[in-house]
Amino acid sequence: MAAGPAYGEEKGGSSSLGEPEYGHDPASGGIFAADYKRHDDLKEMLDSNKDSLKLEAMKRIVAMIARGKNASDLFPAVVKNVACKNIEVKKLVYVYLVRYAEEQQDLALLSISTFQRGLKDPNQLIRASALRVLSSIRVPIIVPIMMLAIKEAASDMSPYVRKTAAHAIPKLYSLDSDQKDQLIEVIEKLLADKTTLVAGSVVMAFEEVCPERIDLIHKNYRKLCNLLIDVEEWGQVVIINMLTRYARTQFLSPNQNESLLEESTEKAFYGSEEDDTKDAKAEAAPLAKRKPYVMDPDHRLLLRNTKPLLQSRNAAVVMAVAQLYFHLAPKAEVGVIAKALVRLLRSHSEVQYVVLQNVATMSIKRRGMFEPYLKSFYIRSTDPTQIKILKLEVLTNLANETNISTILREFQTYIRSMDKDFVAATIQAIGRCATNIGKVRDTCLNGLVQLLSNRDELVVAESVVVIKKLLQMQPAQHSEIIKHMAKLTDNIQVPMARASILWLIGEYCEHVPKIAPDVLRKMAKSFTNEEDIVKLQVINLAAKLYLTNSKQSKLLTQYVLNLAKYDQNYDIRDRARFIRQLIVPTEKSGALNKYAKKLFLAQKPAPILESSFKDRDHFQLGSLSHLLNTKAVGYQELPDWPDEAPDPSVRNVEVPEWTKCTSREKRKEKVEKPFYSDSDGESGPTESADSGTPGQARCLWLSSAAAPSEPHSPHSPSEEEEDEERAKKAKKKVALQGKKGCAETSEEEASGFESSSSGSDSGSEAEATQRKAPPSSRAVPKEISLLDLDDFTPPTPQPISSSSVISTSLVTDLEGLTLIDTSLAPTLLSPGFGAVRTYELLHRMAGEGLSVEYCFSRRPFPGDQHMVAVQIQISNNTDTEVKSLRVSEPKPLSGMRIQEFPEIEYLAPGETASVVMGIDFCDSTQAANFQLCTHTRHFYVSIQPPVGELMAPVFMSENEFRKEQGKLTGMSEITEKLMLSEKYRSDHAIVQQVTSAANVGRVPCGADNEYRFAAKTVTSGSLVLITLEQREGAAAQLTINSEKMVIGTMLVKDIIQALTQ
């Protein structure tokens, strides 16, 4: 909008439509007689029946109007020609009519019938122009005719005429505002129009006539959003601005979640318990309760449809979209406008000025947005001063710890500029940088002190003022500077600077006890010649000195006060009197005298240097009011976000194809479901836990953990091993172990009977043991197990399952899991469930009876977060015992690290041991090579991780996901289409396949047919985001966003394989 009205004004101004002052040119009086004559021949020409003569006459008349001469006495002659066939004559007559009709209303009525005839013309162009002129004639009598004409035109066949009708509405409204109700009806009708041509104009009419009737927009909202891109440019501007306001009233703030998290520092401003309670809630249920903010799809629609307009060639459109994004978009998405705005900086200086103003405001709130474009704001010596100062403002706003040095270097060049106003502004900018960024304060101060020796007085004066402000923050260390400045009083003539120096000396006279009285002496000498502001400061200095050092300065003070007493300025006289009473003890002096010192030498707070754009953002960006920083006529406040979203269904239109409404509700339900319920879905795929209460299901599931695994499952050996170990100690401890969880006992029991346990077996066995256990009913151990597990796992149920899958020695489990709680970032979940696949490390034949298998346990390695935990099962199939089994001579590739497992001293024949070792794969799928040693042999082995194991799941909200995804586009995005295999079309199956292919966590998602997963690579912690979009039938699209492109591509392959096989 910014540039829009500006253009409009320029052009509107020169077009002189209905501007009466043009007619009264004093000069025209002088050549009145001559004018008369010419008017006569003009009349003759107009009366002739030759078109070319008429045209010539009309051209001259219009030229007269343009020169500001009164041509109104020709009115009757001109009006006659309104019915002329020649179009150019007609047009010029129209120009004339619009100009003079208001003055000569009666005569103008003569022409009305022509227009009425014109309204029926088969040519749409003539219909339109007739309506245009008719509505431009400001004659109150014809209001009903106009009303009728508009109504008729609003249902015209031609969209061009309808557009003109929309334009006529505000004209009629300004002529007679009583017609409002009828006009609103017409607007409502036109709003329903589907052509792009009309949309812009009617919204403009809406804004002019009834901006408060937001309810009219509801039904047309979606249509407007969708048409937006095809509407002509100026219409786009109007519509975007209107939609900004609309969205502000109809949607929830997309930043409310962030504001809770980020703006806790600003809480003081809101200062309400509301926030606190919200926070408390949020903390109470960090993951489960915080309902992720789901953007209304209509809100999203608006943002999506306006985004391409950022590429418009029209600066006004870009600016309008920019303000829309700034006011409406979630923080993460606002960044997209920066680029477009920077591009606008290349255009004309007027546009530059407006854009820079807005950038300055934005850069205060969202500094990060423009930081990458810092260099675009560097100043050229050819820029106009206005632009320079605005750029400086932006640069200052953007300054932070990292870029301050470059900015200051730039400032150094600016200081040497020839443009003195700009230099002064630069010095102030340095001052602001210095206050904002403590680190560079001393550097800045030194630089400014150097400027004090500059030859240009203005520069010196400005630096003095800024130094004064800076020194006020930390006066103690800088008495040297104060001394230096005291010397400057001899040279500097700029009053503001002199006053500043005097104030400084007075304020910190204790730091410079010797110099202060001397300065006062000098000033007393020249007192009468000083400017008022300096005089006041001299008095001030005298008073302060009198209080601190009365011995030396008593007489001087008296002298100064006497001089001031007879000063011409009453302010100075008053001040002198007031100070004399206050500080000089007399017999009458009251109680105040005692406090004089306190009054004068109180600690004064340092001034805060801040941007003049700080509070501008309460104006809608891009508006004239924002530009002027005052409220302009007709400015409409941007409404605040509503607390509760108004009913979104009002926007639903009874159009058959619009069925989204229902799916939306569904989606909402889904989101609102507590997090727990999802787990049903995710653990469901095991097919074993499909019944009973969650607790029961879980327990059952635990006990049948090995169910899906093949006979060669890793669990059986481990169980055997465990069993052995425990058997050594005491067989009767079964009851005791029951406490550790039903899973544990069940496994042990199961292994006791047979080494290759099948799931159903172990399940039933579990129950059997429980029955054996003395008084324990079925319920008791279950509860215990639940409690136990809950103790060391995060609230989500997934980790429980995984921990039990490979539970070996409970002790390490506990270690590992408790470590999760403490050492991991809260967002890093312990691994999600997935079928665990085992790999062979050493075959029985190659290992001479020793077979080793490994699997990826998907738990963080206890000792080191950057390592992938590898669970190793070693079974001794020989008939001799194996001693001192250990890892030796790891030969990791560069950067890889291996954390060996503790040496296994002894493995009896037929026994199995399970250990965990950690390997840091450096986010690559390179194999880790090492030697496995026994007391007799060495085996060279290598572990190669599938790419899906190099990561750990991360929990994030949909919003965060989108935000992160937005950052990882371009090269880091890989998209692949695939056909889902028959088996994997259901939600469960897809989730299961993906999570088993890669160690990722699911991200809640609003859309029905989309699945999102997120993970972080273990070593570098870079995000891996997976989006799977299911299309109709088996088609689907897989998108992976990751910085690590190699990982991304491999992962795509793996997941596709998992889903298509």
Partner 1 sequence: QDYFGVCSEVMIKDNVVVVYEVLEEMLDNGFPLATESNILKELIKPPTILRTVVNTITGSTNVGDQLPTGQLSVVPWRRTGVKYTNNEAYFDVIEEIDAIIDKSGSTITAEIQGVIDACVKLTGMPDLTLSFMNPRLLDDVSFHPCVRFKRWESERILSFIPPDGNFRLLSYHVSAQNLVAIPVYVKHNISFRDSSSLGRFEITVGPKQTMGKTVEGVMVTSQMPKGVLNMTLTPSQGTHTFDPVTKLLSWDVGKINPQKLPSLKGTVSLQAGTSKPDENPTINLQFKIQQLAISGLKVNRLDMYGEKYKPFKGIKYMTKAGKFQVRT
Give the nearer residue to partner 1 in terms of CB position, either 784 or 974.
Answer: 974
Whether the Cβ atoms of residue 177 and residue 209 lie closer than 8 Å to each other: no
Q: Binding to partner 1 by residue 535, rule CB under 8 A? A: no
Q: Which stretch binds partner 1 (CB under 8 A): 87-95, 267-275, 875-883, 929-937?
A: 87-95
Binding mask 455-474 for partner 1 (x = CB under 8 A): xx------------------
> Min. distance of Cβ 361 from partner 1 in angstroms?
21
| # chain residues binding partner 1, by CB under 8 A | 69
Q: Binding to partner 1 by residue 969, rule CB under 8 A? A: no
Q: Binding to partner 1 by residue 963, rule CB under 8 A? A: no
Site for partner 1 in 173-212 (CB under 8 A): 197, 201, 204
Token pair 């190659």 is found at: 846
> Min. distance of Cβ 1007 from partner 1 in angstroms?
20
> Min. distance of Cβ 409 from partner 1 in angstroms?
9
User: On the CB side of 489, how many CA atoms lie within 13 Å of its CA?
Assistant: 28
Residues β-bridged to residue 898: 919
Distances (CA, A) of 975 to 583, 630, 928, 996: 82, 50, 30, 20
Binding mask 291-310 for partner 1 (x = CB under 8 A): -----------------x--
Site for partner 1 in 39-68 (CB under 8 A): 50-52, 55, 59, 62-63, 66
Token pair 């001031």 is found at: 564
Whether the Cβ atoms of residue 683 and residue 689 lie closer than 8 Å to each other: yes
Rg (CA), the chain: 42
Distance between start and end Cα atoms, the chain: 56
Q: Binding to partner 1 by residue 498, rule CB under 8 A? A: no
Distances (CA, A) of 856 to 873, 903, 914, 948: 11, 20, 13, 10
Give the nearer residue to partner 1 in terms of CB position, either 58 or 980.
Answer: 58
> Min. distance of Cβ 13 from partner 1 in angstroms?
10
Whether the Cβ atoms of residue 336 and residue 362 lie closer than 8 Å to each other: no
Dist CA 899 CA 892 (whole Å): 11
What residues contact residue 600 under an 8 Å CB cut-off, 6+ apart?
543, 544, 547, 583
Q: Which stretch binds partner 1 (CB under 8 A): 185-193, 227-235, 857-865, 1030-1038?
A: 227-235
Binding mask 369-408 for partner 1 (x = CB under 8 A): ---xx-xx-x-xxx--------------------------
Q: Which amino acid is at 711?
A: P
Tell me if residue 870 falls in helix, strand or coil. Answer: strand
Site for partner 1 in 339-358 (CB under 8 A): 339-340, 342-343, 346
Q: Binding to partner 1 by residue 22, rule CB under 8 A? A: no
Give the nearer residue to partner 1 in terms of CB position, either 257 or 463.
Answer: 463
Q: Binding to partner 1 by residue 412, rule CB under 8 A? A: no
Give the nearer residue to partner 1 in terms of CB position, either 352 or 995.
Answer: 352
Give the nearer residue to partner 1 in terms of CB position, either 94 or 508.
Answer: 94
* Residue 401: burial class (beta carbons within 10 Å; 0-12, 13-18, 19+): exposed
Q: Binding to partner 1 by residue 1020, rule CB under 8 A? A: no
> Min. distance of Cβ 378 from partner 1 in angstroms?
5
Dist CA 167 CA 147 (whole Å): 13
Dist CA 429 CA 393 (whole Å): 7
What residues contact residue 997 under an 8 Å CB cut-off, 6+ apart?
946, 948, 1051, 1054, 1055, 1057, 1058
User: On the CB side of 473, how many CA atoms lie within 13 Å of its CA?
Assistant: 17
Q: Which stretch binds partner 1 (CB under 8 A): 167-175, 582-590, 652-660, 833-841?
A: 167-175
Closest C-alpha among 784, 887, 902 to residue 842: 887
> Min. distance of Cβ 105 from partner 1 in angstroms?
19
> Min. distance of Cβ 546 from partner 1 in angstroms?
41
> Min. distance of Cβ 86 from partner 1 in angstroms?
7
Dist CA 206 CA 170 (whole Å): 8
Dist CA 1057 CA 1061 (whole Å): 6
What residues contact residue 21 under an 8 Å CB cut-off, 6+ apart?
none
Site for partner 1 in 863-882 (CB under 8 A): none
Site for partner 1 in 2-21 (CB under 8 A): 4, 7-8, 11-12, 14-15, 17
Give the nearer residue to partner 1 in terms of CB position, either 10 or 665.
Answer: 10
> Min. distance of Cβ 295 from partner 1 in angstroms?
21
Dist CA 421 CA 460 (whole Å): 13
Dist CA 651 CA 223 (whole Å): 10
Binding mask 110-149 for partner 1 (x = CB under 8 A): -------------xxx------x--xx-------------
Backbone torsion region of residue 450, taken as left when φ is above 0, otherwise alpha when ψ lies between -120 and 50, otherwise beta: alpha
Burial 277-297 (b: 16+ CB within 10 A, else e): eeeeeeeeeeeeebebbbbbb
> Min. distance of Cβ 1029 from partner 1 in angstroms?
16
Among 28, 77, 80, 86, binds partner 1 (CB under 8 A): 86
Whether the Cβ atoms of residue 22 and residue 68 lie closer than 8 Å to each other: yes
Tell me if residue 973 falls in helix, strand or coil. Answer: strand
Closest C-alpha among 419, 472, 413 to residue 447: 413
The phi, psi pair for 919, rounded to 5°, reads -130, 130
What residues contact residue 671 under an 8 Å CB cut-off, 6+ apart?
291, 292, 294, 1004, 1006
What six digits make up the tokens of 776? 């324990």
Strand 912-920 and strand 868-876: the pairing is antiparallel
Give the nearer residue to partner 1 in terms of CB position, either 241 or 611.
Answer: 241
Whether the Cβ atoms of residue 981 and residue 994 lie closer than 8 Å to each other: no
Q: Binding to partner 1 by residue 159, rule CB under 8 A? A: yes
Q: Binding to partner 1 by residue 454, rule CB under 8 A? A: yes
Among 100, 119, 165, 170, binds partner 1 (CB under 8 A): 170
Give the nearer residue to partner 1 in terms of CB position, either 382 or 822.
Answer: 382
Give the nearer residue to partner 1 in terms of CB position, either 307 or 664.
Answer: 307
Give the nearer residue to partner 1 in terms of CB position, either 300 or 339.
Answer: 339
Which secondary structure element, helix H or strand E, spans residue 532, and what is its range?
Answer: helix 532-548
> Min. distance of Cβ 297 from partner 1 in angstroms?
20
Q: Which stretch binds partner 1 (CB under 8 A): 334-342, 640-648, 889-897, 911-919?
A: 334-342
Among 87, 285, 288, 735, binds partner 1 (CB under 8 A): 87
Closest C-alpha among 136, 69, 126 to residue 101: 136
Q: Binding to partner 1 by residue 416, rule CB under 8 A? A: yes
Give the nearer residue to partner 1 in terms of CB position, either 53 or 192.
Answer: 53
> Min. distance of Cβ 241 from partner 1 in angstroms?
13
> Min. distance of Cβ 321 from partner 1 in angstroms?
12
Q: Binding to partner 1 by residue 160, rule CB under 8 A? A: yes
Give the nearer residue to partner 1 in terms of CB position, either 456 or 665.
Answer: 456
Whether the Cβ atoms of residue 962 and residue 1023 lie closer than 8 Å to each other: no
Among 233, 279, 296, 333, binds partner 1 (CB under 8 A): 233
The contact set with partner 1 (CB under 8 A) reads 4, 7-8, 11-12, 14-15, 17, 50-52, 55, 59, 62-63, 66, 86-88, 91-92, 94-95, 123-125, 132, 135-136, 158-160, 164, 167, 170-171, 197, 201, 204, 229, 232-234, 308, 311-313, 318, 339-340, 342-343, 346, 372-373, 375-376, 378, 380-382, 410, 413, 416-418, 454-456
